[in-house]
Amino acid sequence: MVPSADVLGRLSNALGLDASTAQEVRDLLVAVEAAPHVAETHIGAALDTVVRSARLVRSFQCVVLPAMLQSAEYARYVFGSAPDATPEGVGHAVADRVERQSLLYEPGRESVFVLTEGVLRTWPGSPALMLAQLDRLLAVESLSTVRLGVIPWRQVVPVMPRHGFTLCDTEAVVVETFRGEHVLDDPTAVAAYEDTFRRFEEAAIFGSDVRELLLQVMKDFRGLDGPATQ
């Protein structure tokens, strides 16, 4: 799932990265490819470097929480689910992911996240892990640089969700699958994803409504005794 040089090159061009930043991205890709034993735990690391240059990031997710919102323990399960994950590699990847989340606090940068309620109720680990994760979402939701929306399960979706995606400014969209990241920079394709995101955003609740929903989900998790068993 390490992105190809072609993928990174097209995204760098779409975002108008300067020569120095583009070279940094290429160097990171070379480093990841040279360390296959930890490559899987660096999924998205090179793309994250490119996303740093986007001033507006809009992400829709219907299965897993966006990387920028994941707690350390949640991210540990995400990286640990890779077939060839190692404890050392997972630890490094989690640390890198948490460090990159500082972008959420930068003035002049805007992040908009829209999730389905199913994302909040799809949980690894234990109820305690999800309680900590949901508490983090409450904290992030209060940031002036972040808009967090959730489409409640009672709400009819305007489009059947097929996969998550992230829009970088208005120049490119990144789609992550089990096999890797795919970048679309064709203006027509990007415009179509922008329209799809807008429709999901219009169906979502924000502000006090989303906080109320998060608190309700937390209450539900407190009612669970422990990890699910067969």
Per-residue H/E/C for 56-106: EEEEEECCCCCHHHCCHHHHHHHHHCCCCCCHHHHHHHHHHHHHHHHHHHC
Asked if the structure places residue 23 within a domain, the reply is: yes
Asked if the structure places residue 230 within a domain, the reply is: no
Higher pLDDT pick, 101 / 206: 206
Examine the pLDDT at 35 and tell me if it is beyond 50.
no
Examine the pLDDT at 37 and tell me if it is beyond 90.
no
Average pLDDT for 27-33? 55
Number of structural domains the chain divides into: 1
Examine the pLDDT at 52 and tell me if it is beyond 90.
no
Q: Comparing 76-90, 122-136, 210-224, which segment has the lowest mean pLDDT?
A: 76-90
Asked if the structure places residue 93 within a domain, the reply is: yes
Q: Supply the pLDDT for residue 41.
A: 31
Domain of 40 in residue numbering reads as 5-222
Asked if the structure places residue 49 within a domain, the reply is: yes
Provide the phi-psi class of 25: left if phi over 0, else alpha when psi is between -120 and 50, else beta. alpha
Examine the pLDDT at 155 and tell me if it is beyond 90.
yes
Average pLDDT for 35-40? 37
Asked if the structure places residue 229 within a domain, the reply is: no
Asked if the structure places residue 160 within a domain, the reply is: yes
pTM for the full model? 0.78
Asked if the structure places residue 227 within a domain, the reply is: no
Higher pLDDT pick, 138 / 101: 138
Asked if the structure places residue 36 within a domain, the reply is: yes
Q: Supply the pLDDT for residue 80.
A: 87
What is the domain-level CATH number for residue 108? 3.30.870
* Cα(127)–Cα(41) distance, integer angstroms: 24
Is the distance from CB of 140 to CB of 69 less than 8 angstroms?
yes
Tens digits of per-residue pLDDT, 172-220? 898 876 666 688 889 999 999 999 999 999 999 999 999 999 999 999 9
Tens digits of per-residue pLDDT, 4-20? 566 667 667 766 767 77
